[in-house]
Structure formats: C-alpha cells, structure tokens
A = this chain, B = another copy of it.
C-alpha cells in the first residue's frame, strides 16, 4: 500500500519540508515528537528536515514544550523572525513605499516617500524605487535579516509579470527591472492590499477589499485565498458602470465608479485638485520622507477634506455623499457577482469612512432589495499600508508553500 513508489526523493523532500514548516506555522512551537505525530512522518525524517530549516534560519529551537503522545517534554521548534525576511515595495501615484517583514510576519521596517508619479518616466521612478529598496535591504541586513524575495505593488493591470496599463501613472507595457538582486514578483495594488488586510488587518477570511485611491481597485478574498480571475485582472471595481451614459472616464469608458468616487473626483468637487494635472507639473521625483502611515500620499488634499468634513463643511459633506452613493451602486453589482463576506474600505476610504460608509450602505441596501442581506461595511485596519504589507506577506506565503525552492535548501 506504499503511496510513495515512483515519487522522486527530491519532490518528496520538498513536499515534506513544506508540511513540517506549515505545521510549525499553523500550530506554533512544537517538539520534534509532536511534529512527527501531527505530520505522519518518522522522527528521523522530521529531525533531518528541522536541521535544514534551522540552518537556513527559518526556524529556531528554544525552551521546552510537551512532546508527542507519550507526553515527554521536548525542545520547542518555532518559526524564526531573526534571520529571514521579505521585501514589500509599492509604486503609487503620489508616493513610493517599502517595508521589510520577517518570517513571523512581524513588520520590521516601513518607509514611505512622497513622489509625483503621474505621467512619469518609468526609468526614473524605478531608479528612485531601487534606491529606496537598497536602503531598506541594507538596514535589514544591519539587523541580521536576509531578504529572500520581493513583491511590488503597482496601480494598474499586471499580466504575466508585465505592467500592462497604469492609466494614472501614464505607463503601458512596462517590464520592471533593476530592483535589488532578489527574486521578485509584481502585482496589482488592490490584490496585494487585500492580502495585506488578510494577513495584517482584521484576520477575516472572506471579504472584498476596496482600495480607494486616485484609482479604485478591489481584491476579493474567499476562504483565505485571493480570487484572480482568468487572466489575473479581476476586481477592477473602479470601472464598474454606475451610469451607462455618464461622463467619460480616463479608461475610455463612460460613467465608471472612478468618475464619481475616485480621490480626484472627491477633491475636484472641493476645487482642491485638478482631475488632470496641468502640463507644467514638476517631473516625477522624490520630495522627501513622510511618516509611514495613512494616507501615504495625496495627504494634503485628503487631510484637508477630512478637516472640512469634521468641521461640518456642506460642500465636503455633499462630495462624500455623492461618492458614497456611487460606491453603493457599484458595490451592489459587486455583491451580486462576487458574493463577498464583509466589505472592507481601505486607502483614502479609511479616513473618509465615517462620511462615506453611511450613504454607501444606504444605497447598497436599497438596491440589494430582498434577495440577500447587506454585507457589513468595515474600515481597513491598516489603511494605505495595506498594499506594501501585502506584497511582503505574499513573499512569506510563497516561502511557507515551498521553502526548499525559496530558501534554496
């Protein structure tokens, strides 16, 4: 009845390594005896695998825990946050961000820099991102952390590792190169922000994360996994049709949600920010550090909007009301098509939540009728940090799924 015949040794070792590391990750500190019991592997096999994981810095041994079924205490093996780390990177319209997350998903470093990346030169922006990344990798190294991989969040459509279209950056078909010398992936910011909310936010396993930025994206998490669609382009809620013959959108369509509820639409309603930056805008470049946190950039406009909302300014309240109702219409279509758990509002929607969520929920409930209950609307716990944290978290997820490949074991 042996199931292993014909399975090659290397593939089996890789699979068993993932099983052992996964058990340590899920269950916390475990003795080798308890690991053998819970994985069904022999103690000899477990010991060999744990030795390799210790050497790679993925786990550490410390203290004593209750052992296997005979209950004798053993040395506790747990995930180590001391040697292995992941790099998260983000290019957004008005900032660059980087973070380092260790194997226990503790956030070790976070850096955000304002930058005007609208209609920027990809080469210049990527060079600025590389400098930021080099800095945080060096800082992490000084802390004893080896960065084993990176992921980059971008505000646009990504297909097969290519940034196909980022309308607000003005980039088309850009292949990202020149980042620090580690394996890296590139992904849509709303997808990664949804994963950030999953791993660093509320901890719920089923939700639609809606990322309100200059563009509006969404990432659907079902049972702890990101739904990506056939080509990895799912979740573009910013271009859900709110009014079929509405005003033109930058995407080429008409009446998209973004026209009514994007950051520019909100600020333009106040006369604070142009929907299209004038040609004489300064070129893309760094404009100094800002504190990490929310919202990462476009801070001045959104902060002023929040101040005016808090002061009860009628124009500001009307702008949020309009945007919230448009969001409610788009969410109705999203709920019917995607059937999410709760709905989490992030990005600039996080600070605007007290004024947006009411009108959005009201419209959503009215349009959902009696077919189903209105999903709960919740505010993101991590705001504008979601995408860059999700990027680093994705690297950790890949490591846990296949430690042999990612750690070169």
Q: Are B230 and A206 in contact (CB under 8 A)?
A: yes
Contact A5 B333 (CB under 8 A): no
Q: A232-B339, A237-B337, A253-B371 are in contact. List 11 more A-B contacts (CB 8 A).
A: A1-B45, A3-B3, A4-B40, A157-B371, A165-B370, A167-B371, A236-B336, A239-B332, A239-B336, A239-B368, A330-B333
Q: Does A175 sit at the interface, judged by CB under 8 A?
A: no
- B336, A371: Cβ atoms closer than 8 Å: no
Contact stretch, chosen from A6-14, A112-120, A290-298? A6-14
What is the bound-complex CA distance between A230 and B244, given in angstroms? 29
- Chain B residues with CB under 8 Å of A303's CB are none
- Let me know if B339 and A228 touch, CB within 8 A: yes
A34 proximal to B (CB < 8 A): no
- The residues of A with any CB-CB pair to B shorter than 8 Å are 1-7, 9, 12-13, 15-16, 37, 39-42, 45, 157, 165, 167, 206, 218, 222-223, 227-244, 249, 251-254, 329-330, 332-334, 336-341, 363, 366-372
Given known A-B contacts A333-B240, A336-B239, A42 and B5 have beta carbons under 8 A apart: yes
**Per a CB cutoff under 8 Å, which of B41, B45, B228, B372 touches A233?**
B372
Pick the contact of A368: B3, B222, B253 (CB < 8 A).
Answer: B253
In the complex, A233→B5 CA distance in Å? 42
A237 to B332, CA, bound (A): 11
A-B contact pairs, 28 of them (CB 8 A): A1-B16, A2-B2, A2-B45, A3-B12, A3-B16, A4-B4, A6-B37, A6-B39, A7-B40, A157-B372, A165-B370, A228-B339, A229-B338, A230-B339, A233-B372, A235-B339, A239-B336, A239-B368, A240-B332, A241-B367, A244-B367, A251-B370, A252-B370, A253-B366, A253-B368, A254-B366, A330-B333, A334-B337
